[in-house]
A and B are shown apart, each in its own frame.
Chain A
Amino acid sequence: MISSIQRRGFLAALIAAGLSLYGCSRTEELKNINGIDMSGTEIGQDFLLTGTDGRQHRLADFKDKAVLVFFGFTQCPDVCPTALFRAAEVKKLLGPDGDQLQVLFITVDPERDTPEVLKAYVSAFDPSFMGLYGDLDQTAKTAKNFKAYYAKVPTGASYTMDHSAITYVYDRAGRLRLGLRHTQTAEEYAADIRQILALD
């Protein structure tokens, strides 16, 4: 988990690096973003999971679109529907650029989230959204790759999944750029994503 102090230090280092490279033909820095700048980090560089369209997918399949990745599970009555609802709102706020956005929902609970349930669930928020899943091992490897925490926790009659509520945003070249937080609004997300779409 990144503390806010470490995050600020990290951001300062990134800004310094960006300034030192000013004028070079390098990817532009994002300015005044609402999210956490994750450009240049090693995390979330790729994944290999099965999509609810029945096909295997890696990040490169969504090249030329801005990609939003969220980890969750369908038996989550609060954070996950809110996050997906917000993603649908973001798509609307982007207007005609909305179809330049690909939203991916990776389940951390493949035991209960069968492909059928996952597909129906994700599509209910927007038909363009895709669910991704793997077996328990692939799920663990993917989350680790993203440094996204999750855990299966017994509760009452069943179990719940603790999980990271960060939305990861990639640019059109498939580079991870931002981490947006659950506490932020659709408008804040859309403002950052518009910048990302304007890159390159």
Chain B
Amino acid sequence: MSAISKLSTWTLTTASMLLAVASAHAQVTVDEPWVRATVAQQQATGAFMRLSSKADSALVQADSPAAQHVEIHEMIMENDVMKMRQIPRLALPAGQTVELKPGGYHIMLIDLKTQVHEGNHVPMTLTFESPDGKRETVNIEAPVRPLASGAPSGGHHHKH
């Protein structure tokens, strides 16, 4: 191995160790994020994931370079009528897993800057707020799944 590639390997290993340490200390963990792919000229799509926080927290904001506007939404089915509404925050009670999945919550990416292609990743920044008003941000790269995706399969498990 050349000196340069040894240095790169060392840097990468250290960086990923630091990242691992950082997320171990983070309040909130983000599991299995994904974004639904779009067709050309489609202006919006959704992001899904599982969130859990060690102490009481809430998702209060989401941002992404992929879209002009990013909002937290709730889907409500009432008498067989589907309604989506923006919500200002999504509560994450301590120790509970909150799922953003079809049938419930999602992050809406609105006014997409470009088509979202299957196989790519969408960078997102999630902002969490604890009851004392302290904020924590987590950066994620959400893989893009096909537009024609059903409910997430039961077989995926993230190990930390």
| A85 and B150 within 8 A (CB) | yes
B37 to chain A, nearest CB (A): 8
Which residues from chain A contact B81 at a C-beta distance below 8 Å?
1, 149, 162-165
Stretch among B4-12, B22-30, B104-112, B134-142 lining the A interface: B104-112
Which residues from chain A contact B151 at a C-beta distance below 8 Å?
82
| B108 and A77 within 8 A (CB) | yes
Stretch among A8-16, A56-64, A115-123 lining the B interface: A115-123
Question: Is there a chain B Cβ closer than 8 Å to A89's Cβ?
Answer: yes
Question: Is there a chain B Cβ closer than 8 Å to A81's Cβ?
Answer: yes
Q: Chain A 137-162, CB within 8 Å of chain B: the 1/0 string? A: 00000000000010001011110101
How far is B68's CA from A79's CA once the two chains are assembled, in angstroms?
Answer: 23
Considering only residues 46-84 of chain A, those with a C-beta below 8 Å from chain B are 74-79, 81-82, 84
Q: Chain B 56-80, CB within 8 Å of chain A: the 1/0 string? A: 0000000000001101010101011
| A1 and B79 within 8 A (CB) | yes
Partner of B84, one of A76, A112, A125: A76
Question: Is there a chain B Cβ closer than 8 Å to A124's Cβ?
Answer: yes
Question: Is there a chain B Cβ closer than 8 Å to A30's Cβ?
Answer: no
Which residues from chain B contact A158 at a C-beta distance below 8 Å?
44, 69, 110-111
| A81 and B71 within 8 A (CB) | no
Partner of A78, one of B68, B75, B80, B110: B75
Q: Chain A 85-117, CB within 8 Å of chain B: the 1/0 string? A: 110110000000000000000000000101011
How far is B42's CA from A79's CA once the two chains are assembled, in angstroms?
Answer: 16
Closest B residue by C-beta to A163: B82
Partner of B148, one of A85, A117, A163, A166: A85
Q: Chain B 74-100, CB within 8 Å of chain A: the 1/0 string? A: 010101111111100000000000000
A72 to chain B, nearest CB (A): 8
Partner of B102, one of A82, A156, A164: A82
On chain A, the number of residues with a Cβ less than 8 Å from chain B's Cβ atoms is 37
| B102 and A162 within 8 A (CB) | no
Which residues from chain A contact B80 at a C-beta distance below 8 Å?
1, 164-166, 181-182
Partner of A160, one of B41, B79, B84, B111: B84
Partner of A75, one of B43, B71, B103, B106: B43
Closest A residue by C-beta to B84: A160
A133 to chain B, nearest CB (A): 15
A112 to chain B, nearest CB (A): 6
Partner of B86, one of A117, A155, A163, A181: A155
Q: Chain B 21-59, CB within 8 Å of chain A: the 1/0 string? A: 000000000000000100111111110000000000000
| B150 and A82 within 8 A (CB) | yes
Which residues from chain B contact A155 at a C-beta distance below 8 Å?
71, 73, 84-86
B135 to chain A, nearest CB (A): 20
| A75 and B42 within 8 A (CB) | yes
| B86 and A156 within 8 A (CB) | yes
| B108 and A117 within 8 A (CB) | no
The 10 closest A-B pairs by CB, nearest first: A77-B46, A120-B39, A157-B69, A156-B86, A75-B44, A156-B71, A79-B82, A162-B83, A160-B84, A78-B102
A-B contact pairs, 19 of them (CB 8 A): A75-B43, A75-B44, A76-B82, A77-B108, A78-B106, A79-B77, A82-B103, A117-B41, A120-B39, A120-B40, A121-B147, A149-B81, A155-B71, A156-B110, A158-B69, A162-B81, A162-B84, A164-B81, A165-B82
